[in-house]
């Protein structure tokens, strides 16, 4: 950069060469990686012109100058800190500023400063001094930062601070820091100590905006040893959780795990249900009707005046009636939330032990009916990353693969990565090893124990439940308890069967979607893993029998194509049984990977054996793609259809609507494949929200790493062939549902 500056001065490029160069590096960090391997070429310029760093950090005034058309240059402090991090040694004059920022309120600035200060020798000694600050937030930040640095010498300072600390939130941060250091904090977790803390904490200032929570409904809970917990302890944990405002606070996770498994489930369900009930409160029907009755006349007269003054703009009010206005106001009131539970999101940390089936059911219902409550959904998902329940993990995996809201999808992806890291697995391995069985054992049976009698449930060929009594006779439903049978045991058996039915429905949807994505991504399993985690699974093992698979050698060449059968054997399309090489790999077959004669033979095999495929594998060949430029497929550009037909075709294929743009319009649909971080994008002439059925024109198909960015389309020869073929088939599905090419298509759009 110094050489570039020298040339610019000699060319008289502009009067403020230093600012001209700094703009590219202090406005954003996009260009920093240019010098990733030779950082001195970047930091040396700023070492020589350190007034730029001073001005950016606010240590000197930033002048108002004109530089290549820019006025009032606005530099970013985080970019300056990242540049300082590249220096061999951070200049001493910046250390105090960085330390203050590293303990400050701005999270982004705090993390950037903490990363930069890691290279300062014995920085932990200066942080330890902050443990005695008069500001509690600063003490919390210091404890958290010391835990991240991991210097064992800080344990003494943390213990000393804990003895003096009066604030519960700071005590929590210090305890977690000590636990991360590997210290035994059990002395602070005895029932006697927890009760004393609770009694002390409950005497403090009451929490505001938490009157909606009914402490009297908290279920009776027990410790791991079966002893009943003092209700005050749970009450205090809930109050503390609200104060901590962190739905995955480590201390509350530790507290929760002190409970028996059943109590963890009870507390988790109670907290989650209470949070949801408060968050979705709406006006009652009676209140909405009363409001509509009081306002309908006034609004009706207003609409009539609108029409009379400007009939050309308000034609919809020409024949408006009182009843229509009444319904309009009533529905408006019923659609309004009365409040929110988000300020109390910290209590969700206590849901980490919830039963997976319950959590998935509650969350799916909330996400379906209240998807716009993004912050609440993210908060409810966060503590679940501390669970090992297969159903919860599979839910997070499904959300990470595909969800209508990008931020929630990214949140789920981050949580899945944390779970995989905690387990020491890849995400694919995590997916395979946490598949729920819906209660079925290795023989595909669900044993339902009545005490005197035992019933079994299994799945037929259509994955429908079959019930049998002890004599092997099929029955339609579980019977009622006999007088001699324990009613609680019977009730538990019926609950178990009901849970398994719900679990199966969710599992089938998730796994079929997952195998389809695996086919598109051309995912490869090690033979050993495929045979260990998929083939013997009581449900997935039957699903994979409805797919054709390929055995690949270490060079990716096809060795065999085969299908698993009910007896565990693997057969080819010529009915020959094969054995797999344990050093090979397995992938899902597709027409673009096989020769045409192999495809015909497999189609015949599937028909002859009456296999009901999970999805089509052999109907979407890949045409010549060399004619398309810049990664954009446009051979159906100008084909005419309508917005409802296009929406129907693409939503059935798993596509979601693109983001709403100016004036409520959108111009595309997308389908995301998380394992590849690739979107399939299909663009058209556009529609508006709320949608009406209007003429639309099909435009383009392209693939990108970011949704809806045609300029960043991935080159077609860089894509997995199967993904390309499936995307093209989806594009053609829209074209085939249209009325064909219209030579005047440019005149048919509403814009």
pLDDT tens track for 72-113: 567 889 999 999 999 999 999 999 999 999 998 888 899 999
> Given this model, what pLDDT does residue 410 score?
87
Q: How many CA atoms lie within 13 A of 70 on its CB side?
A: 18
Q: Which residue has the higher pLDDT, 69 or 403?
A: 403
**Taking residues 529-558, what's their average pLDDT?**
95
Angle at 461 between CA 433 and CA 512, to 5 degrees: 40
Residue 633's SS3 state is: strand
Residue 703's SS3 state is: strand
pLDDT tens track for 126-168: 999 999 999 988 999 999 899 988 899 999 999 999 989 888 8
**Taking residues 311-321, what's their average pLDDT?**
89
> Given this model, what pLDDT does residue 209 score?
85
**Taking residues 350-375, what's their average pLDDT?**
91
Q: Which of 20-34, 477-491, 546-560 is the least confident region? A: 20-34
The CA-atom distances, in angstroms, between 126 and each of 90, 96, 131, 143 are: 16, 10, 10, 12
Helix (H) or strand (E) holding 333: helix 322-334
> Given this model, what pLDDT does residue 63 score?
74
Per-residue pLDDT band for 66 (boundaries 50, 70, 90) equals low
Q: Which residue has the higher pLDDT, 629 or 263?
A: 263
pLDDT at 120 over 60: yes
Q: Rounded distance, CA 55 to CA 23, Å?
A: 13
What is the SS3 string spanning 418-443?
A: HHHHHHCCCHHHHHHHCCCCCCCCCC
**Taking residues 639-646, what's their average pLDDT?**
96
Q: Rounded distance, CA 671 to CA 703, Å?
A: 10
Q: Which residue has the tokens 């960043």?
A: 712
> Given this model, what pLDDT does residue 71 score?
44
Range among 264-273, 615-624, 674-683 rated most confident: 264-273
- For residue 58, what are the β-bridge partners? none
Token couple for 91: 């200049």
> Given this model, what pLDDT does residue 73 score?
66
pLDDT at 436 over 90: no
Q: Which residue has the tokens 């519960």?
A: 168
pLDDT at 721 over 90: yes
548, 608, 601: which is closest to 578 by C-alpha? Answer: 548
- For residue 70, what are the β-bridge partners? 67
Domains and CATH numbers, the chain: 1-120 (no CATH), 194-280+340-433 (no CATH), 285-334 (no CATH), 446-509 (no CATH), 522-608 (no CATH), 632-747 (3.30.310)
> Given this model, what pLDDT does residue 425 score?
87
Report yes or no: 737 and 535 within 8 Å, Cβ to Cβ: no
The CA-atom distances, in angstroms, between 218 and each of 137, 232, 270 are: 31, 11, 7
Q: Rounded distance, CA 657 to CA 651, Å?
A: 8
pLDDT tens track for 448-476: 999 889 999 999 988 999 999 988 999 99
Report yes or no: 75 and 26 within 8 Å, Cβ to Cβ: yes
- DSSP-based helix, strand, coil % in the chain, nearest 5: 50, 10, 35
> Given this model, what pLDDT does residue 751 score?
66
687, 675, 410: which is closest to 517 by C-alpha? Answer: 675
**Taking residues 572-583, what's their average pLDDT?**
94
Angle at 320 between CA 317 and CA 323, to 5 degrees: 145
pLDDT at 750 over 70: no
The CA-atom distances, in angstroms, between 618 and each of 499, 548, 574, 611, 723 are: 36, 10, 17, 14, 13
- Phi then psi for residue 699, to 5 deg, are -110, -90
Report yes or no: 113 and 143 within 8 Å, Cβ to Cβ: no
Helix residue ranges, H only, 181-317: 191-202, 231-244, 250-256, 261-279, 285-309
pLDDT at 184 over 50: yes
Token couple for 647: 């929406």
Mean residue pLDDT across the chain = 90
Q: Does 242 sit behind a cis peptide bond, omega within 30 degrees of 0 on the bond before it? A: no
Report yes or no: 32 and 73 within 8 Å, Cβ to Cβ: no
């Amino acid at each position: 950069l110094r050489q570039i500056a020298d040339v610019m001065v000699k060319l008289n490029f502009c009067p403020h060469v230093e600012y001209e160069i700094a703009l590219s590096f202090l406005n954003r960090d996009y260009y920093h990686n240019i010098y990733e391997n030779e950082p001195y070429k970047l930091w040396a310029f700023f070492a020589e012109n350190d007034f730029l760093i001073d001005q950016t950090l606010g240590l000197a005034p930033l002048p108002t100058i004109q530089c290549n058309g820019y006025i009032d240059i606005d530099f970013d402090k985080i970019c300056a800190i990242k540049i300082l991090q590249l220096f061999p040694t951070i200049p001493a004059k910046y250390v105090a500023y960085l330390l203050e920022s590293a303990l400050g309120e701005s999270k982004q600035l705090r993390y950037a400063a903490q990363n930069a200060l890691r290279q300062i020798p014995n920085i932990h000694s200066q942080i330890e001094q902050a443990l005695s600050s008069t500001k509690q937030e600063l003490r919390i930040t210091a404890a958290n930062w010391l835990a991240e640095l991991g210097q064992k010498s800080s344990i003494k300072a943390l213990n000393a601070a804990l003895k003096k600390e009066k604030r519960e939130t700071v005590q929590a941060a210090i305890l977690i820091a000590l636990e991360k250091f590997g210290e035994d904090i059990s002395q602070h977790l005895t029932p006697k100590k927890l009760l004393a803390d609770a009694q002390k904490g409950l005497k403090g200032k009451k929490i505001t905006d938490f009157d909606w929570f009914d402490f009297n409904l908290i279920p009776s809970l027990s410790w791991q040893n079966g002893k009943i917990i003092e209700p005050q302890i749970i009450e205090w944990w809930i109050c503390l959780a609200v104060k901590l405002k962190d739905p995955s606070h480590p201390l509350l996770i530790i507290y929760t795990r002190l409970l028996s498994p059943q109590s963890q489930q009870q507390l988790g369900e109670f907290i989650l249900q209470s949070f949801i009930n408060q968050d979705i409160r709406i006006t009652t029907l009676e209140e909405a009707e009363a409001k509509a009755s009081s306002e309908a006349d006034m609004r009706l007269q207003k609409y009539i005046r609108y029409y009379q003054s400007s009939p050309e703009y308000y034609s919809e009010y020409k024949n408006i009636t009182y009843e229509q206005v009444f319904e309009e106001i009533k529905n408006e009131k019923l659609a309004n939330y009365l409040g929110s539970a988000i300020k109390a999101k910290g209590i969700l940390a206590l849901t980490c032990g919830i039963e997976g089936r319950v959590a998935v059911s509650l969350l799916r219902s909330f996400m379906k009916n209240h998807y716009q409550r993004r912050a609440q959904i993210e908060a409810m998902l966060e503590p679940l990353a501390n669970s090992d329940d297969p159903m919860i993990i599979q839910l997070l995996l499904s959300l990470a693969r595909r969800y209508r809201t990008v931020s929630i999808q990214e949140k789920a992806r981050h949580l899945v990565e944390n779970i995989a890291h905690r387990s020491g697995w890849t995400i694919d391995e995590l997916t395979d090893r946490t598949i729920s069985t819906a209660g079925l054992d290795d023989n595909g049976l669900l044993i339902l124990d009545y005490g005197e009698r035992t019933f079994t449930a299994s799945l037929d060929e259509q994955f429908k439940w079959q019930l049998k009594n002890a004599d092997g006779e099929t029955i339609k439903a579980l019977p009622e308890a006999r007088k001699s049978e324990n009613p609680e045991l019977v009730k538990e058996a019926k609950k178990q069967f009901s849970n398994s039915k719900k679990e199966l429905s969710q599992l089938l949807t998730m796994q079929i979607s997952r195998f389809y994505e695996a086919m598109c991504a051309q995912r490869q399993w090690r033979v050993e893993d495929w045979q260990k985690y998929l083939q013997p699974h009581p449900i997935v093992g039957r699903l994979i029998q409805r797919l054709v698979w390929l055995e690949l050698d270490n060079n990716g060449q096809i060795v065999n194509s085969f299908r698993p059968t009910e007896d565990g054997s693997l057969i080819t399309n010529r009915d020959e049984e094969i054995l797999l090489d344990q050093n090979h790999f397995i992938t899902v077959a597709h027409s673009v990977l096989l020769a045409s004669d192999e495809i015909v033979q497999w189609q015949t095999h599937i028909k002859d054996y009456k296999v009901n495929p999970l999805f089509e594998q052999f109907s979407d060949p890949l045409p010549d793609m060399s004619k398309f430029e810049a990664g954009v497929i446009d051979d159906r550009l100008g084909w005419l259809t309508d917005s409802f037909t296009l929406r129907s075709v693409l939503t059935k294929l798993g596509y979601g609507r693109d983001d709403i743009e100016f004036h409520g319009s959108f111009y595309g649909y997308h389908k995301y494949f998380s394992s590849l971080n690739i979107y399939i994008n299909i663009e058209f002439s556009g529609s508006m929200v709320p949608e009406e059925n209007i003429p639309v024109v099909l435009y383009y198909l392209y693939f990108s790493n970011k949704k809806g960015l045609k300029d960043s389309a991935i080159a077609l020869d860089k894509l997995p062939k199967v993904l390309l073929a499936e995307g093209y088939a989806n594009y053609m599905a829209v074209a085939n549902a249209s009325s064909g090419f219209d030579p005047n298509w440019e005149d048919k759009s509403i814009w």
